[in-house]
Structure 1
């Protein structure tokens, strides 16, 4: 029997998406929904492991995938210790760190663990690709102005790296040979300068940079301190203000970009001001990335769900096109990005990394 498929597993908060790929073609996929009443039976994410695993195994039986047909299994990378980008073997130390939740609890922490079990069951290697905790910062990028608060790398690494690889291939080169500014525009916004394929800086998409549909982005720190100590808000309320109820929601009571654009088309000048402000802030962040790369920018790449907005893209293009050609890859495809990360390893384009070795090198 010929091994021909890569299985990709992407656990979310209320679902687990599974896809089967032959080369770069998705031949089977399913979004397995997890009802809230079932999830409420578990006190934490890790307790959901057996439940989700059995559903994946049942799906593989339903689509008649035999043991000899899988080439590899890849899971969504979770909240791991800071490591460089790339494709990683799932190892015991990685699973231990995910199980402990050292960097926080998140459904994606199950990705590697589920992939490892299925991989062992089918006798193939398990991998992760470009987890959220990718850290390729230059040391100078970590300095914030307050010693107790270093800047932390938090980036939409999976989609941004995948789009970088895609654009580099179009240009006849590798990502490691390229200098790009890549902006992922979604519910959260990451804008990063990529120097020879490495994201050497990035706005922390939760705490810094441009506002987004639901996040405040960078705020006036003095006024923020006063608000925190006013007695009017709890810690949880303040957290919700900046992540969840910030950005477009704070001003317009919606995070739906299409709704905001409809208001603008109907003559709502206030909606236009706020949406323009988000585009202005994104453009300014891109400009700062150009300074980091000392002007050596081959392309500015816009991706993510908001990249479908021609209004937003046009505003950004008008603001930054003097720096470099702007190209757009709207949306994101995490499953294909996971698959392609493993394909690059299997085809000899790059080598799989060892998590514990890269952690030691990063210390």
Structure 2
């Protein structure tokens, strides 16, 4: 793949990560931290300008010549369902990102900040594989309740990137492969990649699939309704039980998986039970997806931050290794994934998509 000078931007709730990739292979990266109390005092436009000023200060400090930059690539936010790919930032996208019509999240600022910088330096602005990438088959979207179809909201950026890197490594085309990719981070998504599309995946944001460090996963909905349908509980409270205060946090009071695994090694029986249950659910999700292709899976890939844990990997592997070879690619590699998305369209390997 041809290389270019590209700035990548990944906004989070209390930080903005930036990486500048040079065509000669060098990389400058920095995580710009923000005090949440300060951000809460700002309106949207003020926060965007604040983050932009920090980005520009960092680029100046690191002597980055933006006049030699080929593109800027931002993290994709909550948008309408999209096919996988690299999208140019246009006015319609900016309207949806700013309004939060499909959801409000710090990642929405990725495309907005990219567009601001693109105007300053007359370079193209892109986003790559936002979490709303939707390639699910029609049958996979049927939930059991007609008013509530299953949705594709997952770690598309990293899942797609590690799948393509793996296929390149074994000299096989991604669009001719059958893979199951499990991204294991604060949320967990397990996707079935078939001939270049993720034809089934759990909604890793809103209560579907395995529970994770911060999310409930799929819970018995009848018991949830009966247990919490009460004036005492607000909508915000209920949503936080699903996302933010569910999963491992709900059981153990912390989302620090590294520390919990250390506690397991020190003999903490309760911590072991909860982590083992999470691994059990991840393995069950992988096994379930393998049936869709009658077990004809080329490889299973385990990725995300929790893939650094030998304990977690071993627990999952012992249940799924009978299906096919299991590949471990730890970490999220988000900035590199954004960079590669930009390179693919600049080198004409892929066509840029329009929102």
TM-score per shorter chain, which class?
over 0.9
Partner of 1:194: 193
The answer to whether the 8 A contact 2:111-2:127 is kept is yes
Which residues of 2 match residues 119-130 of structure 1 at below 5 A? 119-130=118-129
Partner of 1:257: 257
Partner of 2:145: 146
- TM, length-normalised to structure 1: 0.92
Q: Assess, with a 3 A threshold, how the Cα gap between structure 1 residues 349 and 173 changes in structure 2: closer, same or farther.
A: farther
1:61 Cα deviation from its structure 2 partner: 2.6
The answer to whether the 8 A contact 1:8-1:74 is kept is yes
- Superimposed CA distance per residue, residues 162-201 of structure 1 (whole angstroms, 9 cap, x where no aligned partner): 1111101111123222211000001110001011121111
Q: Assess, with a 3 A threshold, how the Cα gap between structure 1 residues 60 and 347 changes in structure 2: closer, same or farther.
A: same
Partner Cα distance (2:294, 2:23) in 1: 38
- Superimposed CA distance per residue, residues 105-138 of structure 1 (whole angstroms, 9 cap, x where no aligned partner): 1111111111112122212111110001111111
Partner of 1:211: 211
1:4 Cα deviation from its structure 2 partner: 4.7
Partner of 2:75: 76
Partner Cα distance (1:317, 1:162) in 2: 22
Partner of 2:55: 56
- Superimposed CA distance per residue, residues 43-95 of structure 1 (whole angstroms, 9 cap, x where no aligned partner): 4x454112222222232233333343101110111111100111111112111
Partner of 1:239: 239
Which stretch of the first structure deviates more once superposed, 19-28 or 288-297? 19-28
Q: Secondary structure at the match of 1:201?
A: strand
Partner of 1:294: 294
Q: Assess, with a 3 A threshold, how the Cα gap between structure 1 residues 165 and 226 changes in structure 2: closer, same or farther.
A: same
Partner Cα distance (2:26, 2:15) in 1: 19
1:41 Cα deviation from its structure 2 partner: 2.0
Partner Cα distance (2:240, 2:202) in 1: 19
Which stretch of the first structure deviates more once superposed, 133-142 or 20-29? 20-29
- Superimposed CA distance per residue, residues 3-51 of structure 1 (whole angstroms, 9 cap, x where no aligned partner): 95100011111111111102483521121122234312214x4541122
Partner Cα distance (2:234, 2:323) in 1: 43
Which residues of 2 match residues 296-311 of structure 1 at below 5 A? 296-311=296-311
Unaligned stretches of 5+ in structure 1? Answer: 356-363
- What is the aligned-residue RMSD (CA, Å)? 1.7
Partner Cα distance (2:52, 2:157) in 1: 23
Partner of 2:174: 175
The answer to whether the 8 A contact 2:190-2:202 is kept is yes
Partner of 2:29: 29
Q: Assess, with a 3 A threshold, how the Cα gap between structure 1 residues 66 and 255 changes in structure 2: closer, same or farther.
A: closer
Partner of 2:184: 185
Partner Cα distance (2:177, 2:346) in 1: 22
Partner Cα distance (1:72, 1:263) in 2: 45
The answer to whether the 8 A contact 2:188-2:204 is kept is yes
Partner of 1:8: 8
Unaligned stretches of 5+ in structure 2? Answer: none
- Superimposed CA distance per residue, residues 207-249 of structure 1 (whole angstroms, 9 cap, x where no aligned partner): 1111111211111111111012245533222222221221112
The answer to whether the 8 A contact 1:24-1:339 is kept is no
Q: Assess, with a 3 A threshold, how the Cα gap between structure 1 residues 279 and 95 changes in structure 2: closer, same or farther.
A: same
Partner Cα distance (1:137, 1:233) in 2: 34
- TM, length-normalised to structure 2: 0.94
1:145 Cα deviation from its structure 2 partner: 0.4
Which stretch of the first structure deviates more once superposed, 117-126 or 277-286? 117-126
Partner Cα distance (1:135, 1:85) in 2: 7
The answer to whether the 8 A contact 1:13-1:107 is kept is yes
